Structure 1
Amino acid sequence: MFSINSIMSKAVGLFWGEMSKDELKRFGILSITYFLLIGAYWLTRSMKNAVFENLVGYSRYQPFAKMVSLVFVICAVLFYNKLVDLLKRDTLFYIFATFFGISFLGLGYLVVHPDIISISQGSILSSVTSFIPGKFLGWFMYCFIESYGSIMPALFLSIVASTMTTELAKKGYGMIFTFAQLGLILGTGLVATYLKTLGFGVLFAIGGLSICLMPFFLKCYVKHSPVVKVKKADASGPKPPKTGMLEGLKLLLSRPYVAGLLVVTTMYEIINTIVEFQMNTCALKVYPANLDGGVAFGWFSAMNGLSLGILSLLFALLGTSFLMRRFGLKFCIISYPTMIGIVIASIFVFYMVGASLYFLMWSFFVAAVLFKGLSYTLNKPSFEIMYIPTSKDIRFKAKSWIDGFGGRTAKSVGATVTGVLRGNFSTLLIFGTFASLGLVAFWIFVATYVGNKFNQLQKENKIIE
């Protein structure tokens, strides 16, 4: 008779390879934590554009919201980098998770009652805020969700990378990212199924409660799971001087390997920002928000996320760990931009042969699902492992700049393109296609360098400091 543990071990072995009892416990706790983190993010993210459309106006102001969020995230990353020097990693996670969780609970109430924080025309602040289009709450909500998506996943994955070896990571990262896709499916599924009945406020509150649960699981991981230290080969010598809050930026600019990780990590954000704007522009014409308060548009966004989650889950179960073990990390980070180039070229062909707006909307839908799905399950797990042969300052400080500032800057570049060309869809599609294909070529070149450098570091047992 098979025990539950035996069945679980066989299931884990089927999808992610053999794991010991301690390894299964370790990655099980981490997987649940990341499940909650990503589930809450996609639950709120699926509603972000619809709420922004209601409070501000998506087609006209979303590109500018991307740019404003860059400044917002830079401030958050600077604050985060300072706290890295002052607090333990797990303590930092507890603080940020509690802050974001409580804040999302508050946002859940405010998006239902936006006039509570409205500034009257006769007040002193009205002259300061009068230039802001729409409601200030819409801008704050947009930037806040972007900040959560930049800081919390990066902080969690930095903790994971700093507590295990490359070989251990290859075993468990597939499991962690599989549970992330389950969280994505649940979060977007809740929006797609219950947005009309529960409304934006209740769903925001559910996301906040999920985030508040994360510190308890990470506390369990820290308490009960043995920490596997990364071997600091060739790192002997005098103790390095204490670094400051800009150290991550200095490392990013002075270490070619780290700069390469910036390109591999963020290049797709430029392309995806353009594709998502094209998709949502088509969707708002097919599902006008003024007819139902943005519910249909919110459903479309949630279905995009739900489809993304299903694809990502299937690939995480059947592809991530297998491709890493069979072909190596270099293959993974090169095959992803190659796929993006093929999809972009295909959509351009559809447009040139006269595809309808409805067909183009669903073509962009498929492209956005593929780009993000394979980013989460192929590209992201691969470059996260590539942080392992690096110093603490690179894993935490430089990585926070890459994930926060770098990712947001890339989105702002894409938003600049959409902002300038948003009035002419044809020009945006043609220009965006050729610009994206050029970026893909550069991306493949850099990914080849990073993959070769990683293999060299592993072979020589060295780290980047």
Structure 2
Amino acid sequence: MPLLQRLLSPIVEVRKEESAGVALMFAYSFLAMTGYNVLKPVTRSKFISTLGSDNLPYVLLVAGLIIGVLMTGYAWLIARLPRRSALSITQLGMAALLFGFWFLFQNPATWASVALYLFGSILGVLLISQFWTVANLVYDPRQAKRIFGFIGGGASLGGIAGSEILIRFTDRIGTNSMLLISGTLLVACSAIVWIIFQRTEAQPSPEAIVAGAKQKGVGVGEALRLLRTSNHLQIIALVISFAAVGAAIIEQQLNMAASASKGQGATDAITIFLAQVQRWTSIAGFVIQVWLTSKIHRYLGIGFALMVLPVSLGASAVIMLFNAGLWAPGFARVLDQSLRYTVDKTTREILFLPLAEDIKLKAKTFVDVTVDRNAKALGALLLLVLVKPWGLGLDWQRLSYASLSVMVLWIFMSIRARRGYLAAFRKSIERRDLQPSELRLNVADLSTVETLMQELASPEPARVIYAIDVLESLDKRNLVTPLLLYHEAPAVRERTLRALGAGAAE
């Protein structure tokens, strides 16, 4: 066994001919996210130092409005570049822009801080979509099941590494120099992507490259039609909206607290503080994803999972109301972000499960793009009213009252979402909307499994067989009771025997 395969085999099932490619993809994931996580706190600290934290909602609003235009320009550029080197060239271009920003900040200009913030907002989307575009081109579905978990783990480590670079070196070389480090890491990514495509015959099309990044929402008419079609989708849209607004409030509190505590002009100190929060967010997110997310859904169900994020929002709001320490908004941000991209993300996927196939894809696009962007824009407008002198002029602590208000509404809708999910799931079983072969193991939450167990007692043989099919696809065939071998319907007895036989063989 080659040395590289021996090193990887305890962590991931990898074959001899895959070893070098897997190592390169892991390095790509790690370096891309390290570069982005070096940049992200810098974009915040430079903006705060130049324009003040109370003006951040303005740029959030602008980012939501122009991101579609920027993505259209990205698509135009990709279509005119050589296919095999398009990604490498764009990454070199991103690195060149970071080097350009470093040059601009030698003589600070207000517009440069705004432009850097907007660039940082789009860079994360591009880097993530480009990585998964490469991964899906290089690996087929069977390889993906074995390899994607490992190569995706590089992103989590990159979040920690990028934060550590900022924490350890910002005091020594300054915030501006971090732009050079981030740009250099993107140059390394460009080289790795070029090597990967030299090793494979895959030819990335412009459409494939752009598809992951250029997410299109739906029009007003289509949105209204979707909402009229499903009451469950209406509830999902409201839950996602409250989540986006709650996250915006917490981020604003963090930025305002950093500015108030460190001083608006203390760019390096703000950078280091935001990097510390980012580091703990990455660590907490990794731990929650690996050890807690599946257990929460498996043993506590979707109802509990829906409550985790709004309750954490309310709890952190109470802490900030009664404690002016800088650790309080930092803790709130860590809690919000680490839960949002682990437990809450998986819960979103489960909520879509019972929707009819003819609207599920459009519904996800509607919620993930249209609803999310509109909610963020609404959150930015709300924050302007709350924090600006011409509005309520709240400081970062008193913004917690807004969080508590959002929490109450969010919890109410989460309770309705759980009830709606169970009702919609039962109806989807009746309609046979779920395709067992397309289900993923991470949708096997407690509420879903309990509903399927109830279906095993149905007097209709077709429903019993369908429930067995779905349980088997969720790797829950051990829950198929042997008592069904005595069912009056021969088809049920035959299907039960096959399920029990497959379970015994494992």
Superposed pair shares fold, TM > 0.5? yes
Aligned to 1:430, what secondary structure does the other structure show? helix
Could you tell me how far apart the structure 2 residues matched to 1:255 and 1:82 are? Answer: 30
Alpha-carbon distance between aligned partners in 1 of 2:19 and 2:345, rounded to the nearest angstrom: 22
Asked if the contact 1:38/1:180 (under 8 Å) is kept, the reply is yes
Residue 94 (structure 1) shift: 2.9
Q: Which residue of 1 aligns with 2:436?
A: 459
Q: Is the 8 A contact 1:34 1:176 kept in 2?
A: yes
Give the 5 Å matches for 1:202-221.
202-221=177-196
Residue 363, structure 1, aligned to residue 358, structure 2: no
Asked if the contact 1:96–1:152 (Cα under 8 Å) also holds between the matched residues in 2, the reply is no
Aligned pair 1:412/2:377, yes or no?
yes
For the residue of structure 2 that corresponds to 1:248, the secondary structure is coil
Q: Quick check: 1:111 aligned with 2:105?
A: yes
Residue 301, structure 1, aligned to residue 267, structure 2: no
Cα distance in 1, alignment partners of residues 14 and 70 from structure 2: 38
Aligned to 1:9: 9
Other-structure match for 1:47:
42
Query: Quick one: distance in 2 between partners of 1:25 and 1:385?
Result: 35
1:341 aligns with 2:290: no
Identity %: 19
Q: Is the 8 A contact 2:386 2:399 kept in 1?
A: yes
Equivalent position of 1:119 in the other structure? none
What letter is aligned with 1:345? G
Root mean square deviation of aligned Cα? 4.8
Residue 365 of structure 1 aligns with an amino acid whose one-letter code is: G
Mapped to 1, the partners of 2:140 and 2:385 lie a distance apart of 46
Extract unaligned runs of 5+ from structure 2: 203-210, 388-392, 440-506
Q: 1:248 aligns with which of 199, 216, 223?
A: 216
Secondary structure of 1:420's match? Answer: helix
SS for the counterpart of 2:322 is coil
For structure 1, the residue ranges without an aligned partner over 5 or more in a row are 116-134, 228-242
The residue identity in structure 2 corresponding to 1:94 is S
Q: Which amino acid aligns with 2:42?
A: M
Q: Which has the higher contact order (CA 8 A, sep 6+)?
A: 1
1:350 corresponds, among 319, 324, 339, to 319
1:428 is matched with 399
Structure 1 residues 400 and 201: CA distance shift in structure 2, 3 A: farther
Q: Which whole-Å CA distance do the structure 2 matches of 1:448 and 1:167 have between them?
A: 31
Asked if the contact 1:161–1:384 (Cα under 8 Å) also holds between the matched residues in 2, the reply is: no
Pairwise CA distance, 1:160: 3.6
Tell me the TM-score normalized by structure 2.
Answer: 0.65
Contact 1:105 1:204 in 2 (8 A): yes
SS in 2 for 1:424: coil
Say whether the 8 Å CA contact 1:247–1:398 is kept in structure 2. no
Q: Conserved in 2, the CA contact under 8 Å of 1:274 and 1:417?
A: no
Q: 2:264 aligns to what?
A: 289
Checking the alignment, whether the CA contact within 8 Å between 1:73 and 1:405 is kept in structure 2 is no
Say which SS state the counterpart of residue 357 (structure 1) adopts: coil
CA distance in 1, matches of 2:438, 2:384: 46
1:163–1:5: structure 2 CA closer, same or farther, 3 Å change rule? closer
1:28/1:247 Cα in 2 relative to 1: closer, same or farther (>3 Å)?
A: closer
Distance 1:436 1:26, change over 3 A: farther
- Alpha-carbon deviation of 1:250? 4.2
Give 1:311 shift: 2.1
1:337–1:75 distance in 2 versus 1, CA, 3 Å: farther
1:130: which partner in 2? none
- Correspondence for 2:469: none
User: What do the CA deviations read for 1:78-127 (whole angstroms, capped 9, x no partner)?
Assistant: 33455677778765533432221110111122123225xxxxxxxxxxxx
The change in CA–CA distance for 1:406 and 1:73 in structure 2 (over 3 A counts) is farther
Partners of 1:176 and 1:100 lie apart in 2 by 23
Size of the aligned set, in residue pairs, is: 408
Tell me, what secondary structure is at the counterpart of 1:249?
coil
Distance of 1:53 and 1:456 partners within structure 2: 50
TM-score scaled by length of structure 1: 0.70
Change (3 A) 1:318 1:205: same
Report whether the alignment pairs 1:68 with 2:39.
Answer: no
Partner Cα separation in structure 2 for residue 166 and residue 265 of structure 1: 30
In 2 relative to 1, CA 308–38 (structure 1 residues): closer, same or farther, beyond 3 Å? same
For the pair shown, which has the larger CA radius of gyration, 1 or 2? 2
Distance 1:459 1:365, change over 3 A: same
Q: Alpha-carbon deviation of 1:412?
A: 2.7
Distance of 1:313 and 1:139 partners within structure 2: 31
- Measured in 2, the distance between the counterparts of 1:193 and 1:308 equals 17
CA drift of 1:407 comes to: 5.2
**Which of residues 97, 119, 129 is equivalent to 1:144?**
119
Q: Does the CA-based 8 Å contact 2:170-2:268 persist in structure 1? A: yes
- Provide the residue aligned with 2:96 in structure 1: 102
Q: What is aligned with 1:232?
A: none
**Distance in structure 1 (CA, Å) of the matches to 2:215 and 2:185:** 33
Task: Assess if the C-alpha contact under 8 Å between 2:238 and 2:413 holds in 1.
Answer: no
